[in-house]
Structure formats: structure tokens, C-alpha cells
């Protein structure tokens, strides 16, 4: 069975939207391994790593005196989530 090839942007978007290789695979009717191999070939990080990267960026920007509201708009998260991320980031 021939599978569709994705661009880096498409794969990153699917990883961010679905959250796991298995969920992406289910939506396209292919195996998790097929999606994982394409994701690795495109050098797209798994969802957890992209969330960690985003959280580090949020903590850094908050340290650079960005307001909670500005961060919430920029990252499309609630102000409560931003506060939690910042608190967890400071304790690490």
C-alpha cells in the first residue's frame, strides 16, 4: 500500500494537532510505524518534546518581562495555563 508523503510543515501540524503517531495513523488508516518513520525522516520531534520546547520558551519570555496576557495570546493558551507553566519552569 502506497502511503502519502508529508512535508515538514504538514507533519509538524499533525503532531501538534493529534499529539501522537498512533492518532495520526488512525486518521489515515496506516500503521503507527509508518507515521513514525516519516516523522523521523523529516526530523520532526514528537509532541512531548515540542511541548517542552514551548514551555521553556514561555518561561524565558516571562523572565524577559512579558505579561501573562501577552504570552497567552501568543501561544494560544489560557492565562491559567501560562501561570502553571511558569511556576513549574521556575521549580526545575
In angstroms, what CA-CA distances link 71 with 34, 47, 82, 90?
A: 36, 20, 7, 16
Question: What are the boundaries of each domain within the chain?
Answer: 8-44, 48-91
Average pLDDT of the residues in 63-89: 93
Cβ 42 vs Cβ 11: under 8 Å: yes
Q: Assess whether pLDDT exceeds 90 at residue 92.
A: no
Give the model confidence (pLDDT) of 25-45 as tens digits: 999 899 999 999 999 999 988
Mean pLDDT of the chain: 87
Give the C-alpha separation, 92 to 39, whole Å.
29
Q: Assess whether pLDDT exceeds 90 at residue 50.
A: no
Amino acid at each position: 500500500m502506497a502511503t502519502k508523503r508529508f512535508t515538514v510543515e504538514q507533519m509538524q501540524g499533525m503532531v501538534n494537532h493529534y499529539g501522537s503517531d498512533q492518532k495520526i495513523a488512525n486518521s489515515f488508516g496506516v500503521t503507527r510505524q509508518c507515521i513514525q518513520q516519516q516523522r523521523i525522516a523529516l526530523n520532526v520531534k514528537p509532541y512531548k518534546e515540542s511541548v517542552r520546547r514551548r514551555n521553556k520558551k514561555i518561561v524565558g519570555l516571562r523572565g524577559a518581562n512579558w505579561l501573562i496576557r501577552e504570552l497567552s495570546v501568543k501561544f494560544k493558551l489560557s492565562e491559567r495555563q501560562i501561570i502553571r507553566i511558569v511556576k513549574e519552569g521556575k521549580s526545575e
